Structure 1
Amino acid sequence: MPPPITHHTSHTMGNGASSSSGGGCSGGDRSSITHHTSHTMENGACSSNSGSQSGAGTSTTDEPLAGSTVGASLIISTDGISPNQSPDLSPNLSPSSGASSVLLDEDDCDASLATGLSTLSSSVNLVNFSIIDSTLREGEQFATAYFDTAQKIQIAQALDEFGVDYIEVTSPAASPQSRADCEAICKLGLKAKVLCHIRCNMDDARIAVQTGVDGINMCIGTSAQLMAHSHGKDMAYIASKAREVIEYVKSNNIEVRFSGEDSFRSDFSEILELYTLVDSLGANRVGIADTVGGATPMEVFDKVEAIRKAVSCDIETHFHNDTGCAIANAYMALEAGATHIDTTVLGIGERNGITPLGGLMARLMRAHYEVVLKKYKLEKLGYLEDLVARVVSVEIPFNNFAFKGPMLE
């Protein structure tokens, strides 16, 4: 049996815990836990790094950081491609400015694949697919992320321009500043829906409803480790609280997702029973979270497929990248029937982050080229990544995914 989760491997804290780097907190000792180690808390906890603080080396200018994309990039080119034609993967791409190009090769696949991306088969149905970008929630747990209000607004607007379907922000119950930032983003009039992340309790739910969010992403630890070392409650308690909060949120005409935190290490029969209950209560989505990043693609497929057979609501997935499987796991979840994928820009997040937005786009482009180009503005991705990289003071990875060509300009 694996050892209990410590504070650096879990998003959950117990009574009075805090992980704030800015703003206020309604209770608890704020000295022992750093801002990037946790996001879900029990009684009196706080998990915000919101406030007026700005990280070292950050900038609030609108222009991308000069030279930030220098390095070898994985180029997906659409040069000379009409909207109804798949791109040719012949090795004649010119590198982007200052970057050497690494082609997406065919890995000795059947020669018929060389005719274009449309020949690649996939069972993924993107008709109901949605991206929930969590840069402003999960991303706040990144080691050097200190988003002030202006930076959060700038990132939210850039995400909206790119075309993400949802933008998830930190719990407004985490601190007064987190609440103020949530309300400010809700007032921007974005096309994307604004979600906030909360614990599974009524106090958080009441605060969230008052902010004007479009939806609430609620979670509580369901693994034996978290039930023992986080909130100390059993499944009967979790089911009771889930019912209470879902019924309240739905009565206010707001979307709600219920997720078992660390659900991949939870008793899966209990997860299926719990998710069947919350589905019957009218939850818009159930979420399955690989909180410690240990799931394998086939495990993901099997479990998501089982959930798909058990519930009629949508399925949201959240994959940490501790073992480098986040993109593969996200795609396998879609193959198995998931409808929503959590991402962050450049994959930033707790520890080594979650599914990167750009990486997921590159994977989807291989089999769903025209759908992806129609739904998302890939030409906006470079600016978005430069913006976030500048704000959190990191360089764009040398092997980052890049998208080029006249259709993307």
Structure 2
Amino acid sequence: MKNIAFDRVKFAFDIERFFICMSQPLPFDLTSDTNPTNAMSLHDFSIVETTLREGEQFCKARFSSSDKVEIAKALDSFGVEYIELTSPRVSIYSRKDCHQIAELGLKSKVLTHIRCNLEDAKVAVDTGVDGINIVIGTSDLLRYFSHGKSIEEIIEIASKVLGFIRQANPRIELRFSTEDSFRSSLSDLLRVYLEIDRLGLVDRFGIADTVGIATPSQVFELVKILRQTTQKDIEFHGHNDTGCAIANSYTALEAGATHINTTVLGIGERNGITPLEGLVARLYVLNPEAIERKYALGSLGSICKLVADKVGVEIPFDRCIVGSASFSHKAGIHTKAVLKNSRTYEIIAPEDFGLERTMLIDHPLTGKYAISHRCHQLGLNLSPDKLVVATQKIKDLAYTRQISLEGIDRILVEFSQS
């Protein structure tokens, strides 16, 4: 089995040899470190939100039809460009769900995800969805243990399936993706993409880090090569087995990808994929105004709670933006600075997401600025000397036992009245 390895010299040699064998001119300069790519644009990228497909594969997920409609409407209100649904070939219920959600009249385009299989395609085109995402494994492992097809057979089957769909519905949006792209031979990948590209049938190509093995640099290199090889849009699907999903998705955009797969809370097979809230956080920091115009950020927290409730999990405390600790400040040096200017320790403004920051004072690390802030909230006026003494009393108590906010408030009231 050959994995993609991005040693630049070997990589250049392999690619050059591949194009010679294919009797095609090189589409880019292999020796350049500054090859022009379609730079990431916060206005041009799209989110393919797949909570209702990939997310349905999460170990605790069991969405009813009404759940799916509720989640689809919430995602549509948030503003995602695409909503992907489970293949209608999975069951009669999945088929009915595709029909129902396709008929909701959402602003988001509704997609379904199928195998590269003619029977799957026949069912999918009959659901009324706006687009069909097709996938087939290209790694040695998947070709041997999953579908048993050679690269030649993959190209042949894909040509038939894509041709059938395009003839059945000339206006439908088509994506063709390899699966397990980062454990596939680079020459196999390029051969498949180039042959499919020649057909002129697809709108978008997909790259999938199916097992979360890729590093950001590997993602950048592969997306960059595909970007320079085709004019079609590029979609990235990244699993989070090694914790790189958000970084890999962001890097894919930097390299020229146009579409990123996400799920709410990152739910999916095993450790899931790029979380919607994580990708939004990463892109918000780059350009808050653009992301605010693009998505209804104030509804992100309610969407995450909705999905968490449906699958029976708590939102992790450290989840970007929506986690309970996201905007909590504890150490005295932090709270002092944040109270003066929140940007000192916050790169994301909670108010842009309809959230509030929390100044924690019920602990031994608290400081007089945080205590003074609490006095202000309570309408109390403590002298500087009393404030120092009150702060020390709270710190001393917190060292010996758990102290509640109500207990702290009583102490502050007592000091104000003494």
The reply on whether 1:141 has 2:57 as its aligned counterpart is yes
Q: Which amino acid aligns with 1:352?
A: N
Match of 1:244 in 2: 160
Within 2, Cα distance between the matches of 1:277 and 1:140?
32
Within 2, Cα distance between the matches of 1:124 and 1:231?
35
Residue 124 (structure 1) aligned to one of 16, 40, 55? 40
Residue 408 (structure 1) shift: 4.1
Judge conservation of contact 1:256–1:284 (CA < 8 Å) in 2. Answer: yes
Residue 123 (structure 1) shift: 4.9
Residue 326 (structure 1) aligned to one of 233, 240, 245? 245
* Mapping for residues 282-301 of structure 1, pairs under 5 Å: 282-301=201-220
- RMSD over aligned CA atoms reads 1.6
Judge conservation of contact 2:39–2:256 (CA < 8 Å) in 1. Answer: no
Q: Which amino acid aligns with 2:188?
A: E
- Which has the greater radius of gyration? 2
Q: In the TM superposition, what whole-angstrom CA distance separates every residue of 1:109-131 from its partner, at most 9, and x where no partner exists? A: xxxxxxxxxxxxx9522232000
Q: Which amino acid aligns with 2:245?
A: A
Return 5+ residue gaps in structure 1 as ranges.
Answer: 4-121
* Mapping for residues 245-264 of structure 1, pairs under 5 Å: 245-251=161-167, 252=169, 253-264=171-182
Residue 300 (structure 1) shift: 0.3
The reply on whether 1:358 has 2:277 as its aligned counterpart is yes
Match of 1:169 in 2: 85
The reply on whether 1:179 has 2:95 as its aligned counterpart is yes
Within 1, Cα distance between the matches of 2:184 and 2:320?
34
Q: Secondary structure at the match of 2:274?
A: coil
Judge conservation of contact 1:149–1:181 (CA < 8 Å) in 2. Answer: yes
The reply on whether 1:378 has 2:297 as its aligned counterpart is yes
Match of 1:233 in 2: 149
Residue 274 (structure 1) shift: 1.1
Within 1, Cα distance between the matches of 2:196 and 2:148?
21
* Mapping for residues 331-350 of structure 1, pairs under 5 Å: 331-350=250-269
Q: Secondary structure at the match of 1:351?
A: coil
Match of 1:224 in 2: 140
Q: Which amino acid aligns with 1:134?
A: T
Q: Which amino acid aligns with 1:342?
A: N
Moved more, 338-347 or 359-368: 359-368
The reply on whether 1:401 has 2:290 as its aligned counterpart is no
* Mapping for residues 12-91 of structure 1, pairs under 5 Å: none
Residue 407 (structure 1) shift: 4.5
Judge conservation of contact 1:379–1:404 (CA < 8 Å) in 2. Answer: no
Within 1, Cα distance between the matches of 2:213 and 2:163?
33
Q: In the TM superposition, what whole-angstrom CA distance separates every residue of 1:331-366 from its partner, at most 9, and x where no partner exists? A: 000000000000000000000100000000010011
Q: Which amino acid aligns with 1:145?
A: A
Residue 201 (structure 1) shift: 1.2
Judge conservation of contact 2:130–2:173 (CA < 8 Å) in 1. Answer: yes
The number of residue pairs the alignment matches comes to: 291
More helix by share: 2
Within 2, Cα distance between the matches of 1:238 and 1:407?
47
Residue 278 (structure 1) aligned to one of 161, 176, 196? 196
Q: Secondary structure at the match of 2:43?
A: helix
Match of 1:211 in 2: 127
Within 2, Cα distance between the matches of 1:405 and 1:321?
26
1:271–1:2 CA distance, 2 compared to 1 (3 A): closer
Within 2, Cα distance between the matches of 1:158 and 1:355?
18
Within 1, Cα distance between the matches of 2:182 and 2:304?
30
Within 2, Cα distance between the matches of 1:195 and 1:216?
5
Q: Which amino acid aligns with 2:235?
A: E
Judge conservation of contact 2:2–2:184 (CA < 8 Å) in 1. Answer: no
Judge conservation of contact 1:362–1:401 (CA < 8 Å) in 2. Answer: yes
Judge conservation of contact 1:279–1:312 (CA < 8 Å) in 2. Answer: no
Return 5+ residue gaps in structure 2 as ranges.
Answer: 4-37, 322-347, 355-418
Residue 186 (structure 2) aligned to one of 268, 277, 280? 268
TM-score (ref. length: structure 1): 0.69
Q: In the TM superposition, what whole-angstrom CA distance separates every residue of 1:54-93 from its partner, at most 9, and x where no partner exists? A: xxxxxxxxxxxxxxxxxxxxxxxxxxxxxxxxxxxxxxxx
Q: Secondary structure at the match of 1:294?
A: coil
Residue 405 (structure 1) shift: 4.7
Q: Which amino acid aligns with 1:206?
A: K
Judge conservation of contact 2:55–2:263 (CA < 8 Å) in 1. Answer: yes
Give me the identity figure in percent.
56
Q: Secondary structure at the match of 2:156?
A: helix
Residue 228 (structure 2) aligned to one of 309, 334, 356? 309
Moved more, 348-357 or 240-249: 240-249
The reply on whether 1:391 has 2:310 as its aligned counterpart is yes
Q: Which amino acid aligns with 1:152?
A: K
Q: Secondary structure at the match of 1:150?
A: helix
Within 2, Cα distance between the matches of 1:368 and 1:273?
37
Residue 401 (structure 1) shift: 1.8
